[in-house]
Structure 1
């Protein structure tokens, strides 16, 4: 880690697997102490055993429980990674509960966690927030009105927050990936991992969780006068915001 790297601690939500675990691995590799949030201690065992991630057992929708789990630790980097897709279907076919849960996890939870931690960052004049949104917040992806709408709200909140944070030395980045090979759509596929893989990832070159982690590490490592405000990262074969891929022959 470079001697002028300004950050010592990070909090990563949805840390137990997929993109979250990859981010934890990369940030510990930068020499940071990483606090990982998941709903159960068992879910965090792998990143705890492998990486020494400090487990914070809490529902991401409960920022008070997360802050309590930090036991007074000062957080330099917040990565709002946790997200969920309740179902992929037209809005009028979703239940009210599915819509409310989607908004609570993807929009309300990261907003409240930023509210809880940004004051300390501003006071210390040291901090960086990375919100992982999605290209579905910018483009049209059928059946994702609630998910895309919630992430679009978070993306716009990033733009507004930059005005609040200007001059504070606290940076904020909206990172919007295209298709990443994770289990975020597993619930929408009824828990069928085989169907999820065959439908979403089997015949395409999707992004991998480590691609997102490397992008975050690069952004954090830039000089303090540089804020990469928005990043759209997509598979080479995907039209951004869409679900049609052109296959690579041979």
Structure 2
């Protein structure tokens, strides 16, 4: 019997690439996203590999429990849905942007996990992969609340592992660095020119790279759990510590 992966935020970027990667390997897919037309396009493209598509707003707790809580036989939950909004310093940011990031990046992850985890515990089998970010560990100007939400995702994953000790349910946080998808278009609210400058002169990670990492994580031996996996493109690394000099 083929396995089933549930992918939140499957309509673009990492989620869409992962859907294609797992479909090619014979997995069944349950795909969620806010954009129904994109879900339908994916279903048409991937055919019988798609077990179900679910239009879902990850900021709506009642929707999450109603639509995901009834699903059965989910072998892998990919908590992929998330977003960054803006790069303003904390004293200039729109509080609505902060709220959207907290609601999606934190609450969406914990509620989707709560909806699916009981069946994994009951079966004593399953895997959860949460998409974090290098921003969860390494701060940068303008990353204030986005980085905070991704730090939460990482710590949430660690605590899930503590809760699940003795259960055969895996939990991994996968933290990509600079990756070219719709991420920057969303961050800069549709300003494609500004978004393109983020990747100018570099070869960033691609959604297909992340999908390949997820596929690898899903196929490790049953006794192996990767707690945290961080990945950057070669054109990204850490710089020196910032110092302000009043001279």
Question: Is the structural similarity TM-score above 0.5?
Answer: yes
Match of 2:245 in 1: none
Match of 2:193 in 1: 194
When normalised by structure 1's length, the TM-score is: 0.89
Match of 2:31 in 1: 36
1:115: how far off? 1.1
Q: What is the CA–CA distance in structure 1 between the aligned matches of 2:238 and 2:9, rounded to whole Å?
A: 24
Match of 1:77 in 2: 76
Q: What runs of 5+ residues in structure 2 fail to find an aligned partner?
A: 241-247
Q: What is the CA–CA distance in structure 2 between the aligned matches of 1:78 and 1:184, rounded to whole Å?
A: 21
Match of 2:207 in 1: 209
Q: What is the CA–CA distance in structure 1 between the aligned matches of 2:124 and 2:61, rounded to whole Å?
A: 22
For residues 40-85 of structure 1, give each alpha carbon's deviation from its aligned partner in whole angstroms, at most 9, with x where no partner exists. Answer: 3112123111113321111012344245445533211100111111
Are the aligned partners of 2:85 and 2:189 in contact in 1 as well (CA < 8 Å)?
no
Q: Does 1:17 align with 2:30?
A: no
For residues 176-233 of structure 1, give each alpha carbon's deviation from its aligned partner in whole angstroms, at most 9, with x where no partner exists. Answer: 0000101112133231223311x11231010000000000100110111001111001
Helix, strand or coil: the match of 2:198? Answer: helix
Q: What is the CA–CA distance in structure 1 between the aligned matches of 2:238 and 2:173, rounded to whole Å?
A: 16
Match of 1:47 in 2: 42
Q: What runs of 5+ residues in structure 1 fail to find an aligned partner?
A: 243-250
Q: Does 1:219 align with 2:214?
A: no
Q: CA RMSD in A?
A: 1.8
Q: What is the CA–CA distance in structure 2 between the aligned matches of 1:101 and 1:217, rounded to whole Å?
A: 29
Helix, strand or coil: the match of 1:78? Answer: strand
The number of aligned residues is 236
